[in-house]
Amino acid sequence: PLNLSGKNFLTLLDFTPEQINYLLDLSRDFKNVKRAGTPHRYLEGKNIVLLFEKTSTRTRCAFEVGAMDLGMGVTYLDPGSSQMGKKESIEDTARVLGRMYDGIEYRGFEQSVVEDLAANAGVPVWNGLTAQFHPTQALADILTMREEFGDDLRGRKLAFFGQVGNTASSLLVICAKLGIDFVQVGPQADVPGNRTYRPELWKACQELAAVSGATLTMTDDIDEGIQGVDAVYTDVWVGMGQSADLWCDRIALLEPYRVTEEVMAKANPGAIFMHCLPSFHDTNTTIGAEIAEQFGVTEMEVEDAVFESEQSRVFQEAENRMHTIKAVMYATLR
Ligand code: CP
């Protein structure tokens, strides 16, 4: 079961707890060899292609550096430079790329696209973010928690503040699989602009949690949600590819759930702050400045003081994207 050679990495739902822990162990080993400066060109002679229909800093760089460290060649196709979806179907694109490359990464819109690629490529396909899931992110986040709290995270608790999106969905899955208690803290009201868990995903994760011993909860009550929490996680209020028109509703809905120093003080002693990045922790970005001016807010999903605090592990998570993605490529291509 620990031989993942040839397997796709589309959602963590497809992996057993043992396989996930194996990938995390491998990630830790790759981090150690990288830090030691030991060459690890184990996949020399192989080539991969990165298909991006949305922008990226971390995921693209993690795949590129990870592949180069493993001795592989890399082709990057940006949103404007392939025929896929415009002049050529997903299926045909997959059949072409599968004959040239040993592995394919996809970042884009629907999960069905990455599934279509996988069904037709004949080589491993890796999900670099879809509307539904961000599995390589969740793997890096749990590696970060392991580094803080030890390899066995059963009984530890992660709170996700805000609305449910791809990252929150993959975190729910990995926590349910590994026995990590999970709470989503955010508006539960059925109002326009609000997003909570899809019932079928929540139900599937409850079944996984019954096996692993994890508790899964959703609450709109911050004091209730923050009880016993070891890792406080949040994400931007409007995700990539979503309309800027959403900001007005989202700010009104989510401002009460900003991660503040007051919130962090109510978490467990030694609790850490986590964020997948990029973040609007300040308004020192083009989009951030526009939103600040339009809506009169100066801080968004997390206070700058928390983002920059001793408790913050956000750049450790970003680095861990590379070690975990390297582990995924190695395990599936070896
Ligand atoms: N967290 C994350 O996926 O970052 P990028 O969008 O920069 O890849």
For residues 121 and 135, give the distance between their C-alpha atoms in angstroms, rounded to a whole number: 20
Same structural domain, 186 and 265: yes
- Residue 250 sits at φ, ψ, to 5 deg, of -65, -40
Q: Are residues 194 and 292 in the same domain?
A: yes
Structure token digits, residue 37: 């400066």
**Residue 189: what pLDDT?**
86
Give the chain's residues under pLDDT 70: 1, 240-242, 244
For residues 24 and 114, membership in a common domain is answered with yes
Minimal-distance CA residue to ligand 1 atom 4: 58
pLDDT tens column, 269-324 = 999 999 999 998 777 788 778 887 888 888 889 999 999 999 999 999 999 999 99
Domain count, the chain: 2
Same domain, 120 and 158: no
Residues annotated as catalytic (active site), given as ranges? 107, 134, 137, 235, 276, 321
Same domain, 293 and 174: yes
> How high is the pLDDT of residue 246?
77
CATH number at residue 222: 3.40.50.1370
Do 52 and 201 lie in a common domain? no
Is 136 annotated in a binding site? The answer is yes
Task: Name beta bridge partners: 232.
Answer: 159, 273
Please check whether residues 107 and 165 belong to one and the same domain: no
Domain match, 123 and 198 both: no
Question: Does residue 81 sit within a domain?
Answer: yes
What's the confidence (pLDDT) of residue 191? Answer: 83
Domain assignment of residue 139, yes or no: no
CA–CA dist 321, 237 (Å, integer): 21
Q: Which pLDDT score, from 0 to 100, does residue 293 have?
A: 83
pTM: 0.96
Signed CA dihedral, 291, 166, 256, 301: sign only: negative
Within-domain flag for 7: no
What is the best residue among 50, 129, 287, 313 to mutate for testing ligand 1's pocket, by most ligand atoms within 8 Å of CB? 129
Helix ranges (H only) for the chain are: 17-36, 58-69, 90-100, 111-121, 135-149, 166-178, 199-212, 222-225, 246-254, 261-266, 286-295, 304-307, 314-333
Kindly state whether residue 33 falls inside one of the protein's structural domains. Answer: yes
Give the structural domain span for 159.
148-313
Which residues lie with the beta carbon below 6 Å from any ligand 1 atom?
56-59, 129, 137, 276-278
Residue 2 lies in a domain: no
With respect to residue 140, please indicate whether it lies within any of the assigned structural domains.
no
Asked if residue 303 and residue 247 are part of one domain, the reply reads: yes
ipTM exceeding the 0.90 mark: yes
Whose alpha carbon is nearest atom 3 of ligand 1?
Answer: 59
Q: Which long-range contacts (CB under 8 A, 24 or more apart) does 276-284 make?
A: 276/134, 276/137, 276/141, 276/167, 276/235, 276/317, 277/58, 277/314, 277/317, 277/318, 278/57, 278/236, 279/236, 279/307, 279/314, 280/236, 280/237, 281/306, 281/307, 281/308, 282/307
Q: What local confidence, expressed as pLDDT, does residue 285 receive? A: 81
Question: What integer pLDDT is reported at residue 240 of this predicted model?
Answer: 62
Tens digit of each residue's pLDDT (9 = 90 or more) over 113-149: 999 999 999 999 999 999 999 999 999 999 999 999 9
**72 is written with which tokens?**
């592989």
Q: Would residue 5 count as lying in a domain?
A: no
Contacts for 12-16 with beta carbons within 8 Å, 24 or more apart? 12/133, 12/135, 12/138, 12/139, 12/170, 12/173, 12/174, 12/177, 13/173, 13/204, 15/177, 16/177
Can you give the pLDDT at residue 1?
Answer: 61
Classify residue 69: in a domain, yes or no.
yes
Do 187 and 308 lie in a common domain?
Answer: yes
* CB half-sphere exposure, 92, CA atoms < 13 A: 8
Spatial separation of the C-alpha atoms in residues 202 and 243, rounded to whole Å: 26
Nearest atom, ligand 1, residue 318 CA:
1
Q: Are residues 173 and 121 in the same domain?
A: no
Do 155 and 109 have their domain in common? no
